[in-house]
Amino acid sequence: MTLTLHLDTGAWREHLRHVADTTPGLVPVAKGNGYGFGLGRLTAEVVALGADTVAVGIVQEVAVVRRAGFAGDVVVLTPWTPADGTEVLADPRVIVTVSRLADLRTLAAGHPDTRVLLEVLTSMRRHGLPTSELAQAVAIVTGSRLRVEGWTIHLPMVVSGRLAEARALASAALQQLQVPLWMSHLSADEYATLAGEVPVPLRLRVGTALWLGAPQTRRVTARVLDVHRVERGERVGYWQRRLPRSGYLVVVSGGTANGVAMEAPTAAVTPRQRMLAAASGSMEALGLALSPYRIDGKKRFFVEPPHMQSSLVFLPEDAGVAIGDEIPVEVRLTTVTVDRIDG
Ligand SMILES: *Cc1c(COP(=O)(O)O)cnc(C)c1O
């Protein structure tokens, strides 16, 4: 009873190698659900790539990549605050991000040997020191033993104006202290351009474009667990909904435990579409949601919200689907946890 990620490992690794070879200073990002591959698997790939540094999202993930065999430098992307505790600071190969003067002072006073990246606030308005505070930050670190590994600049995905913003913030930061720049979300071209303009080494943190590039190297399938002929008006499922049409009920692997429910797009959007759907007696008219499961080339409707590890979808015609078949599922790997990786 599994949701399977089929991976052409050879082709995927070729892509990873290509990104690594064409991105000097690459820092692979391994966080969260491991971009669908799991953090253990990503760590093994980082080791195979020979990367000297990996970036994780939160302090709890440091132990995960350590257990998975990564011995190099680990950058924690979410800025450190006292609530994160000090245990992680004991690892001399951990570099924490700091985005507030108060947190920087706390580290300088209590954990002076910490390696830090100073985060500059960008148009993301997420975390970071505004440019007006950069000089104070530098004053704190120069009066302490803190080791500044660089400035970090996390840009939005929106392309327009991004390189200009990167330049402006980099220049403001480098005026205060000449240390490496750790960038996020620059394209390969923007990164190369900036690298040619600044007098310090550049590093680029990449997650999605690295792990989830080359989409042709993978596909996700679900197994058909059961198939039942059902009649119009019959009640089915946990919620005993009446079926609008006769057809087949197909039980497929994958459910809320795998994050499949989050993949369900909503049904018909405009009132007119809804009316047309109602007139044709279709599934949308009942407010059913389209599922990510594809049978006989078409995405099929959920009969009801998915359950922990399986889902019910409706098939109006006999498409020859049989128990044990593997059917394609269109999922975003950042929101899905597969049961098995084949490859
Ligand atoms: C998650 C994260 C990244 C990686 O993002 P992708 O879009 O997956 O490449 C880079 N930088 C920071 C600061 C992040 O939090």
CATH number, domain containing residue 65: 3.20.20.10
* SS3 call for 163: helix
Give the residue from 166, 196, 213 where a domain finishes: 213
Question: Are residue 17 and residue 156 in the same domain, yes or no?
Answer: yes
End-to-end CA distance of the chain: 18
Tokens (6 digits) for 328: 């394609």
Q: What's the total number of domains in the chain?
A: 2
Question: Are residue 169 and residue 234 in the same domain, yes or no?
Answer: no
Question: Are residue 321 and residue 225 in the same domain, yes or no?
Answer: yes
CA of 94 to the centre of ligand 1 (A): 18
292 is a domain residue: yes
Please state, in angstroms and rounded to a whole number, the distance separating the CA atoms of residues 151 and 208: 22
Question: Are residue 120 and residue 162 in the same domain, yes or no?
Answer: yes
Give the residue from 213, 235, 250 where a domain finishes: 213
Q: Which of 338, 325, 305 is nearest to 227 (CA)?
A: 325
337 is a domain residue: no
* SS3 call for 41: helix
- Please calculate the CA angle 8-12-13 and round it to the nearest 5 degrees: 120
**Which residue has the CA at smallest separation from atom 14 of ligand 1?**
77
**What string of pLDDT tens digits covers the 343 residues of the chain?**
589 999 999 999 999 999 999 999 999 999 999 999 999 999 999 999 999 999 999 999 999 999 999 999 999 999 999 999 999 999 999 999 999 999 999 999 999 999 999 999 999 999 999 999 999 999 999 999 999 999 999 999 888 999 999 999 999 999 999 999 999 999 999 999 999 999 999 999 999 999 999 999 999 999 999 999 999 999 999 989 899 899 999 999 999 999 997 644 444 456 666 666 555 556 665 668 899 999 999 999 999 989 899 999 999 998 889 999 999 999 999 989 999 999 9
| Sign of the CA dihedral with 75 first, then 78, 79, and 80 last | negative
206 is a domain residue: yes
Domain membership of residue 171 as a residue range = 3-213
Please state, in angstroms and rounded to a whole number, the distance separating the CA atoms of residues 333 and 220: 9
Question: Are residue 8 and residue 40 in the same domain, yes or no?
Answer: yes
Question: Are residue 207 and residue 248 in the same domain, yes or no?
Answer: no
Please state, in angstroms and rounded to a whole number, the distance separating the CA atoms of residues 99 and 84: 14
CA of 166 to the centre of ligand 1 (A): 16
Question: Are residue 28 and residue 72 in the same domain, yes or no?
Answer: yes
In whole angstroms, what separates CA 23 from the centre of its chain? 20
CA of 245 to the centre of ligand 1 (A): 46
Please state, in angstroms and rounded to a whole number, the distance separating the CA atoms of residues 204 and 150: 12
* pTM of the predicted model as reported, rounded to 2 decimal places: 0.91
What is the 8-class DSSP label of residue 2? Answer: -
Give the residue from 192, 213, 234 where a domain finishes: 213
List of residues 6+ apart from 30 with CB closer than 8 A? 39, 42, 43, 46, 54, 55, 56, 61, 65, 207
Q: Which residues line ligand 1 (CB under 6 A)?
A: 29, 31, 77, 154, 184, 205-209
Tokens (6 digits) for 32: 């969260």
